Amino acid sequence: MLFVSNPEPFRKLLPGFLPVVGGYPGSTDLPSDLVAILRTLDMAGGNSLGVSAAQPRLVPQSPFWTDWFLADAADASQYDQLRDAMSTPGSASGRLVCLALSGRGFHGQGHRAWEAARGNLHLSLGLRCNLDAAVSGLALPMLPAVAVVDALIGLTEGRPRAPAPGIKWVNDILVGERKIGGVLTSAKSQEGRIRTVVWGIGLNVGTLPDVIPTPFTPAVTCLDEHIPFTENNLKNALGAVLSAVAARFDELASRGPQRLLEAYRDYSLILGREVEVHPEDTGSAPVRRGRALAINPDLSLVLSDSPVPVTGGRLVLCNHPD
């Protein structure tokens, strides 16, 4: 199923994606779980359109995703809305894509505001699964970060001036020491099994956000600064990210978390570098300093000057790579 809050911007932005539609189906024509999602996303009325159609042609190489919700301007964080909607047992049986061209109330880690500017990718993904929590649960937060780097490597391949993308612990995506994106993860478990997972992905594609520099984010960039601008950059980025997430999830489900952990470590931009880790709450713990020696399977960070691994906080890169 495919649902669109306002089809015209998507027709222009994603030519060939939207089939001809005849109107929005009534709630009696839809599964109850999709009705609940539509209501949560505030897409159950107005000029919304619904399409019962074959797999959209945006990413023909990846039939993984089954239900699509496209919002021209979201009134609130679709990540929060989708996470809440999928917390109900038995709802949202498909693999869901929520894409917003712009919106309000979007955020990153620690509910820090994320500017949802037009031209950039604002993506929330939800799916039901049946993973062993003890085996795969700790890998789920790594998956979207690794997938975004996978996608960026593919998109920038062959560009001589494109710096290599990588991950700044825990969930920031950088290109050339500048932040280009970030990811969020929420999962629900029951009786030792992961039953639902929701990922939020923000990626600067065509618009450079107005961000006040801080030690944690000294500079930002967008994909168009590294790839000559084309009208297809957002479409290409969306297709690449969706395909990469699907591939990494299938890998996790079929082979376990080891390859995902290895990729996260390989993509890390902090190993071997001097770092500071500041607590989220500045009054709760001291700043931890040292050379980043290792990343454990639970994503805790081993520092040269700390006997106890660091399990959370905000990281500052203190020196440039060798």
**Residue 96: CB partners within 8 Å, gap ≥ 6?**
37, 65, 66, 67, 68, 69, 82, 125, 126, 127
Rounded distance, CA 50 to CA 21, Å? 8
Q: Do 257 and 286 share a domain, yes or no?
A: no
CATH number at residue 68: 3.30.930.10
Top-confidence residue, 34 or 57: 34
% the chain with pLDDT above 70: 79
Q: Do 225 and 153 share a domain, yes or no?
A: yes
Q: Do 216 and 256 share a domain, yes or no?
A: yes
pLDDT at 29 over 90: no
What secondary structure, in 3-state letters, does 130-152 show? Answer: EEEHHHHHHHCCHHHHHHHHHHH
CATH number at residue 284: 2.30.30
Please give the C-alpha separations between residue 97 and each of 14, 254, 316, in angstroms, as whole numbers: 15, 22, 32
Strand order in the sheet with 178-190: 49-51, 2-4, 67-74, 95-103, 121-132, 193-203, 178-190, 172-175, 165-168
Q: Measure CA 80 to chain center.
A: 13
pLDDT at 322 over 60: no
Rounded distance, CA 40 to CA 36, Å? 6
User: How many of the other CB atoms lie within 10 Å of CB of 188?
Assistant: 16
Cα three-residue angle 254-261-144, rounded to 5 degrees: 80
Q: Do 45 and 77 share a domain, yes or no?
A: yes
Per-residue pLDDT, averaged over 240-257, amounts to 95
- At 111 the pLDDT is 75
Q: Do 214 and 313 share a domain, yes or no?
A: no
Backbone φ/ψ region at 119: left (φ over 0), alpha (ψ -120 to 50), beta: left
Q: Do 98 and 180 share a domain, yes or no?
A: yes
- Is-contact 173 149, C-beta < 8 A? yes
- At 192 the pLDDT is 92
Rounded distance, CA 21 to CA 56, Å? 13
Least confident interval from 125-134, 149-158, 239-248: 149-158
Q: Do 282 and 242 share a domain, yes or no?
A: no
- At 51 the pLDDT is 47
* Bridge partners, 128 (sequence order): 196
Least confident interval from 86-95, 105-114, 169-178, 208-217: 86-95
Going through the chain in order, the beta strands assigned E by DSSP cover: 2-4, 49-51, 67-74, 95-103, 121-132, 165-168, 172-175, 178-190, 193-203, 274-278, 288-295, 301-303, 314-317
Closest CA to 125 of 173, 184, 49, 44: 184
Per-residue pLDDT, averaged over 212-218, amounts to 92
Q: Do 288 and 180 share a domain, yes or no?
A: no
Instruction: Give the residue numbers spanning the domain of 296.
Output: 271-322
Per-residue pLDDT, averaged over 9-27, amounts to 57
Q: Do 57 and 140 share a domain, yes or no?
A: yes
Q: Do 223 and 317 share a domain, yes or no?
A: no
Per-residue pLDDT, averaged over 182-206, amounts to 94
Closest CA to 299 of 74, 146, 191, 176: 146
Q: What pTM, to 2 d.p., does this model score?
A: 0.89
- At 87 the pLDDT is 77
Rounded distance, CA 70 to CA 92, Å? 16
- Give the total number of structural domains in the chain: 2
- At 299 the pLDDT is 95
Q: pLDDT tens digits for 80-135?
A: 988 888 876 655 567 899 999 988 888 888 778 788 889 999 999 999 899 999 99
pLDDT at 25 over 60: no
Q: Do 117 and 217 share a domain, yes or no?
A: yes
Cα three-residue angle 131-37-74, rounded to 5 degrees: 110
101 by DSSP, 3-state: which? strand
List phi, psi (to 5°) of 37: -65, -45
Least confident interval from 44-48, 122-126, 141-145, 188-192: 44-48
pLDDT at 62 over 70: no
Q: Do 242 and 275 share a domain, yes or no?
A: no
